[in-house]
Structure 1
Amino acid sequence: MEQQQFDPRQRIIGILYAVTTALFWGFLAIAMKIGFDFVSPATMVWFRFTTAFWALFLFFSVKNRGKLRILIRPHWMLILAAAGLSLNYIGFANGIDYAGPATAQVFIQLGPMLLAVSGVVLFKERLSWRQKFGFLLAFAGFYLFYYEKIQRIGSDGSGDFIIGLAWIVMGATTWSVYAVLQKILVRTFSAQQLNLFIYGFAMVVYLPFVTFSEFSQLDGTQWAIMIFLGANTLIAYGCLAEAFKYVEANKISIIATMNPIITFVALSVMAYLNIDWIDQDPFSALMWIGAVTVLFAAIMVIMPKRKNRKKPRSHDPKAS
C-alpha cells in the first residue's frame, strides 16, 4: 500500500483532531465510572452508540440524504471495522470485570501501539530517527507512569487474571483492526458517513443486552451524564475519523495513548478540589515523571521534519 502524502497544514488539522479525541477519551473514563452507579455497562454502551447514530442520521437526513445509502450497501471492510469496534467494547468491559481497571488500563494501550506498527508496515509511513527515538521515549515514559500499577497486577491472586488479560488483548487487537480499516476507508468515503454505519451496527449488536427499565429511574443529573457520554462518542470518534484523513497513523497512535494520562491528571485535580465522586489512587511523583516524558515523546513524534536548506552558491565574477 502506497504512502499517503500530507502537507504541513493537513498534519496540523489532523493532529488537532487526534488531540480532541484523546481529550474526550480521557474524560470519558471518569464519566463512565460515575455512570456505572446507575446503569449497566451494556445499557450505557448502547445508549452512547444510539445517541451518536441518531445525531448523524438526522444530520444527513437534512444535509445530504445520499450519504444514508451506506446503511443499505456497506463496503465489506466497513462491516469488519464496525465488528472490530463492537468487539473492542466487549473485550475492554470483560477485561475490567475479570482483571480489574488497572490491568485493563495498562494493556488496552496495545491497540494504539498496533496502529503505529500498521502505519509503518501497511501504509509505508517513514519514521525519522527523531520519531523513532520519540517512540522509545514514549515506551519508557509509559513504563514509569504505569510502574506502580504493573507491580500490583495479579497481586490479589485471582485465577481470573489470565482470562481478563485475554479479553483486554482481544479488545485492543480488534480496535487496531477497526482503526486500520477506517484509515483505508476514509480515502473513499466521508469520515462521518463511515461512523454512521459503525454506530448503527453497534447499536443493533448491543440491543439484546439493554436493560430499558434503568432509564425510568434516572434523575436530571444522571440524564445529563448519559447525554454527555453519547455526545462524547459522537465527537471523539468523529474527530478520530477526520484525523485519519489528514495525518499518519503512527502520529495518531502516539496521541491516542495519552488519554489515560489525561484521565489521571483530571482525577488528581478532582482530588485536590476535594471532589470525591470517584475513588482514585494518589498521583505519585513517578507517575508525573512518566506523564511528562510521554508528553515530550509525543512532541518529538508529531513535530514536522526539518527541511534541509541549501545555501545558494555565491557567484564568482571572475569565473565567466
Structure 2
Amino acid sequence: MPLHQVSGRSRLGLALSLLTVLLWGLLAIALKIVLQELDPFTVTWFRFTVSGILLGGYLASRHKLPTWQQLRKVSLPIFLVAVGGLTLNYILFLIGVGKTSANNAQVITQIAPVIMGMASLVIFKEKYNYKQWGGVAILVCGLLLFSHDQVRSLITSFDTYMWGNALLVLGAIVWAFYGLAQKQLLLNLPSASVLLCLYLSASTLLAPMAHPQRVLTLSALPLTALIFCAFNTLIAYGAFAAALEHWEASRVSAVITLAPLVTLVASAILTNFVPQFLPPSPLTWLGYLGAIAVVFGSMVISLGANRNP
C-alpha cells in the first residue's frame, strides 16, 4: 500500500504545529470550565456538530466538498480507525479532565504524540538520529518531573485520580491511532475533506447520547467556553491535519508536546479570575524544571534531524 509523502514545506509545517500547540493548550482549561455544567457526551457532540457545519459550509462556498469518486477511494477500515480514535479520545479526555485537573490531563496525554512519533518511525519509514533519541529521553524525564505534583495528589484522592489518569492514558493511545490513520487518509482526500467526514461521522455517532437542550441552560462563562471549544476543534485539528501534509509526523508529534506549557501558564493566570470554575493547581520547582525539560527535549527532536542536501 502506498504511503503518504510530505510536501517538504517545513516552515509552514512548524507554524501550523505551533498554532495547534496554542489552541490545544487552552482547550483543556476551557473544557474544565464547561464540565462544571455539562456532560462529556453533549460537549463532544456540540464540538463535532458545530465544526462539521462550519467546515462544510466553507467547503461548499468554495466548491470543494468531497465528491463520491474521491470518497470511494478512501479505505473504510482506516477511516473507521480514525473516527473511532478521535471520538474516543474526545470522550476519554473530557472525563479525565473532570476527574483530575487541566494541567494533569494535558501532561498525561503527551504520551499520545510520543506514541505517534515512535509508530511513524516504523510505518512511515521516518528516522531519528542520536540527537533526537537524546531529545526523547529528555522529554520523557521532563514529563515525569512536570507531573510530580499531580502524582502526589493520588495520595489524597487515590480513586478519583487513578480512574481519571487511566482514562487519559487510554485516550492518548487511541489518539495515536487516529493521528496515524488520518495521515494515511490524506492519500485520497485533502485534509479539510478528511476532517469534514470525521466531524460529521462522529457527530452522528454521539447524537443518541447527547442532550442538546442543556446547552441552552448554561451560564455565561461555560457557554463562552463551549463555543470556544467548538471553534478550537475546527481550527486546531485543521492546523494539525495541514501540518501533517507538509512535515513529518514524528516532528509534528514532537512540537505539539509543548501544549502543557501553554496550559500551565494560562491556568496560573486564569485561576485568579475564575477560581470557582478553575481551582488552583500549583507546581513546585521540580514541576517547572520538568516543563523546561519538555521544551528542550521537544526542540531537540523536531530540529535535530539530519538535513538532506
Smaller-chain TM-score range?
A: 0.7 to 0.9
| Pair 1:100–1:227, CA change in 2 (3 A) | closer
Instruction: Indicate the residue corresponding to 2:218 in structure 1.
Output: 218
TM-score by length of 1: 0.84
| Pair 1:167–1:267, CA change in 2 (3 A) | closer
Instruction: Indicate the residue corresponding to 1:11 in structure 2.
Output: 10
1:147-186 paired onto structure 2 within 5 Å? 147-153=148-154, 155-158=156-159, 164-186=164-186
1:42-81 paired onto structure 2 within 5 Å? 42-67=41-66, 69=68, 73=72, 75-76=75-76, 77-81=78-82
Q: CA deviation at 1:163?
A: 5.3
CA contact (8 A) 1:112 1:256 kept: yes
The residue type equivalent to 1:41 in the other structure is P
Of 139-148 and 209-218, more deviation after overlay is shown by: 209-218
For residues 222-244 of structure 1, the C-alpha deviation after alignment (integer angstroms, 9 at most, x for no partner) is 44332211100000100110011
For residues 258-296 of structure 1, the C-alpha deviation after alignment (integer angstroms, 9 at most, x for no partner) is 21221111111234x555341122232222211112112
Instruction: Indicate the residue corresponding to 1:118 in structure 2.
Output: 119
Q: CA deviation at 1:55?
A: 0.6
CA contact (8 A) 1:70 1:197 kept: no
CA contact (8 A) 1:20 1:239 kept: yes
Instruction: Indicate the residue corresponding to 1:39 in structure 2.
Output: 38
The residue type equivalent to 2:122 in the other structure is V
Q: CA deviation at 1:38?
A: 2.7
Gaps of 5+ in 1: 310-320
Q: Secondary structure at the match of 1:153?
A: helix
Instruction: Indicate the residue corresponding to 1:291 in structure 2.
Output: 291
- Higher-Rg structure is 1
Of 245-254 and 72-81, more deviation after overlay is shown by: 72-81
CA contact (8 A) 2:6 2:245 kept: no
Q: CA deviation at 1:185?
A: 1.5
For residues 100-140 of structure 1, the C-alpha deviation after alignment (integer angstroms, 9 at most, x for no partner) is 34764443322211101111111111112211111111111
The residue type equivalent to 1:229 in the other structure is C
The residue type equivalent to 1:93 in the other structure is L
Instruction: Indicate the residue corresponding to 1:232 in structure 2.
Output: 232
TM-score by length of 2: 0.87
User: In structure 2, how many angstroms separate the alpha carbons of the residues matched to 1:70 and 1:82?
Assistant: 20
Instruction: Indicate the residue corresponding to 1:315 in structure 2.
Output: none
Instruction: Indicate the residue corresponding to 1:266 in structure 2.
Output: 266
CA contact (8 A) 1:141 1:291 kept: yes
User: In structure 2, how many angstroms separate the alpha carbons of the residues matched to 1:90 and 1:288?
Assistant: 29
Q: CA deviation at 1:162?
A: 6.0
The residue type equivalent to 2:147 in the other structure is Y
| Pair 1:43–1:119, CA change in 2 (3 A) | same
User: In structure 2, how many angstroms separate the alpha carbons of the residues matched to 1:192 and 1:46?
Assistant: 19
User: In structure 1, how many angstroms separate the alpha carbons of the residues matched to 2:308 and 2:81?
Assistant: 42
Of 100-109 and 199-208, more deviation after overlay is shown by: 100-109
The residue type equivalent to 2:201 in the other structure is F
Gaps of 5+ in 2: none
Instruction: Indicate the residue corresponding to 1:193 in structure 2.
Output: 193
CA contact (8 A) 2:10 2:247 kept: yes
Q: CA deviation at 1:95?
A: 4.0
RMSD: 2.7
Q: CA deviation at 1:96?
A: 4.7
| Pair 1:110–1:308, CA change in 2 (3 A) | closer
CA contact (8 A) 1:82 1:201 kept: yes
User: In structure 2, how many angstroms separate the alpha carbons of the residues matched to 1:70 and 1:113?
Assistant: 35
CA contact (8 A) 1:115 1:180 kept: yes
User: In structure 2, how many angstroms separate the alpha carbons of the residues matched to 1:308 and 1:249?
Assistant: 17
